Amino acid sequence: MGKTDYSSWKLSDLFQAEKDIKKAIEDKKSDEKQKMIEEFKIKAEALGIPLSELLEGIDKIKIKKTVIPKYKNPDNETETYSGRGRKPAWFRKCLENGINEEDLLIKK
């Protein structure tokens, strides 16, 4: 699929295209979800296990949450630190060089 050049489009057309694409994404997600449910039903039935039994413990599964970084390296902004766990070497080095933690905070 080739890349489309949107530079000549009117703003109203771009907004409409955005709405259309969002709807297409939601429709596709819904279709894919339904297909997945059907596949799970078929596999569960093949094993003689009710789908409801498979789903009983699903809420007990721990999902690892992404921690938002709190600090960034002033010399390399791709290096960040959440403030949890062991301090990275760049963070310790900054503190040793007299830079305050507040100076390393990511400004929002």
Tens digits of residue pLDDT in 37-74 = 899 889 988 999 887 887 776 777 677 778 899 999 99
Q: HEC profile for the chain?
A: CCCCCCCCCCHHHHHHHHHHHHHHHHHHHHHHHHHHHHHHHHHHHHHCCCHHHHHCCHHHCCCCCCCCCCEEECCEEEEEECCCCCCCHHHHHHHHCCCCHHHHECCC
Q: Is residue 92 part of a domain?
A: yes
Q: Is residue 3 part of a domain?
A: no
Residue written as token pair 């009983």:
56
76 and 100 share a domain? yes
C-alpha distances in angstroms, 108 versus 4, 69, 71? 33, 11, 11
pLDDT at residue number 10: 96
pLDDT at residue number 8: 95
Residue 26 identity (one-letter amino acid): E
Q: What is the pTM of this model?
A: 0.46
Domain carrying residue 82: 71-104
As for how many domains the chain has, the answer is: 2
Q: Is residue 21 part of a domain?
A: yes
Residue 81 has pLDDT above 80, yes or no: yes
